[in-house]
């Protein structure tokens, strides 16, 4: 992300019928062509350069998900279970205008998008996933692949009750390494992250509750939910045309997650980026914007 964006995003609050409000960023007005969902430990600002590059071509909206800055942040842990989070995205699309030509999602946003596309294909015409594992593939790899288990071990740290405090220590010394010393992590971008994470990590409580409420994390004991979790093919098959853009240098989400993906995504187009990492949206904003414009035009 460049320090100075050509077109600063418009901001607005989207009130949903079930009482949740999402703080949104947009590059236009009216019915959008695309909805952009961010991941952890980011927020909607991560899409700002993509929004700028798309301005005048594709009207896109990037919401802060539930629990993130400016959006509703319920206190109860159960409010961050997948059913509730996916309901937010479905309601947002319906409020903005369904069917949506394109749903774009990265990381945790992708977890919601995969579930939404399987359950409500009527709401979207095309799905673009960026470095976010399909839930059934993730379950398989967390159970059977020791390399993925090790790569995902950080998830159990994020579930600790004191994770907010520990992550905030020494100016977020445990969080910056998530980005791997990236060149795009300029002082201006760091300032965006500090603002999102809040003083003493207060802004991390909602985002961390996503991990705490999910059974999809490496097992640490025989009784962990991962051992008994079942994801029937009928519940997780995505029949919406889907493009997956994947940075193969991702240290947390390994290439094994792409194996056998067509079992659950029959209309699949896979684009691998050998030189990119998990942070494709920051590293390759022009490529991401071009792909979004292509998919919207074809929707």
3-state secondary structure of 247: strand
DSSP state of 242: E
C-beta contacts of 150-153 below 8 A and 24+ residues apart: 151/251, 151/252, 151/253, 151/254, 152/217, 152/218, 152/252, 153/218
Distance CA 275, CA 277 (A): 7
CA distance readout (Å), 155 to 59, 190, 213, 242: 34, 22, 12, 27
Mean pLDDT estimate for the chain: 96
**Phi, psi dihedrals of residue 33, rounded to the nearest 5°:** -90, -25
Written as six digits, the tokens of 13 are: 């609050």
Encode pLDDT of 42-97 as tens digits. 999 999 999 999 999 999 999 999 999 999 999 999 999 999 999 999 999 999 99
The whole-number pLDDT of residue 6 equals 58
Name residue 13's beta-bridge partners: 23
In the chain, what percentage of residues exceed pLDDT 90? Answer: 96
With vertex at residue 102, the alpha carbon angle to CA 100 and CA 108, rounded to the nearest 5 degrees, is 110
CA distance readout (Å), 98 to 90, 101, 262: 9, 8, 26
**Phi, psi dihedrals of residue 162, rounded to the nearest 5°:** -105, 20
Encode pLDDT of 262-290 as tens digits. 999 999 999 999 999 999 999 999 999 99
First to last CA, the chain: 27
Residue 1 has pLDDT above 80, yes or no: no
Encode pLDDT of 227-260 as tens digits. 999 999 999 999 999 999 999 999 999 999 999 9
3-state secondary structure of 259: coil
The whole-number pLDDT of residue 291 equals 98
**Residue 210 region by backbone torsions, left for phi larger than 0, else alpha for psi between -120 and 50, else beta:** alpha
In CATH, what class is 10-298? alpha beta
The whole-number pLDDT of residue 5 equals 44
Whether 246 contacts 279, CB under 8 Å: no
Rounded average pLDDT over 123-129:
98
Residue 181 has pLDDT above 90, yes or no: no
Distance CA 143, CA 172 (A): 31
Whether 47 contacts 25, CB under 8 Å: yes
Q: How confident is the model at residue 2 (pLDDT cuts 50, 70, 90)?
A: very low
Encode pLDDT of 208-223 as tens digits. 999 999 999 999 999 9
Rounded average pLDDT over 119-128:
98
Residue 3 has pLDDT above 70, yes or no: no
CA distance readout (Å), 26 to 12, 63, 126, 223: 8, 8, 20, 44
Distance CA 38, CA 44 (A): 6
Cα dihedral sign for 226, 88, 70, 196? positive
Whether 272 contacts 248, CB under 8 Å: yes
Residue 4 has pLDDT above 70, yes or no: no
Whether 71 contacts 64, CB under 8 Å: yes
pTM, entire model: 0.97
With vertex at residue 139, the alpha carbon angle to CA 164 and CA 85, rounded to the nearest 5 degrees, is 50
């Amino acid at each position: 992300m460049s320090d100075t964006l050509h077109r600063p995003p418009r901001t607005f609050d989207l009130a949903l019928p079930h009482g949740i409000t999402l703080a949104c960023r947009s590059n236009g007005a009216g019915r959008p062509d695309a909805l952009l969902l961010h991941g952890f430990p980011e927020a909607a600002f991560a899409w700002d350069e993509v929004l700028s590059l798309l301005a005048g071509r594709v009207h896109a909206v990037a919401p802060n998900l539930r629990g993130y800055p400016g959006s509703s942040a319920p206190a109860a842990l159960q409010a961050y279970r997948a059913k509730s989070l996916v309901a937010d995205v479905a309601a947002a699309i319906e409020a903005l205008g369904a069917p949506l030509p394109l749903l774009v999602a990265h990381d945790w946003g992708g977890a919601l998008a995969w579930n939404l596309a399987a359950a409500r294909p009527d709401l979207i015409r095309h799905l673009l996933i960026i470095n976010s594992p399909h839930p059934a593939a993730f379950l398989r790899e967390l159970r059977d692949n020791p390399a993925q288990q090790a790569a995902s071990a950080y998830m159990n740290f994020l579930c600790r009750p004191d994770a907010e405090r520990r992550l905030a220590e020494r100016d977020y010394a445990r969080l910056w390494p998530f980005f791997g010393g990236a060149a795009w992590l300029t002082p201006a971008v760091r300032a965006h992250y500090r603002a999102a994470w809040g003083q003493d990590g207060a802004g991390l409580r909602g985002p961390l509750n996503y991990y705490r409420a999910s059974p999809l994390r490496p097992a640490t004991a025989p009784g962990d939910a991962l051992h008994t979790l079942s994801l029937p093919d009928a519940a997780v098959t995505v029949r919406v045309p889907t493009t997956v853009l994947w940075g193969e240098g991702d240290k947390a989400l390994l290439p094994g997650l792409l194996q056998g993906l067509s079992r659950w995504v029959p209309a699949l187009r896979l684009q691998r980026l050998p030189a990119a990492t998990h942070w494709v949206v920051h590293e390759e904003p022009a490529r991401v914007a071009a792909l979004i414009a292509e998919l919207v035009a074809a929707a």
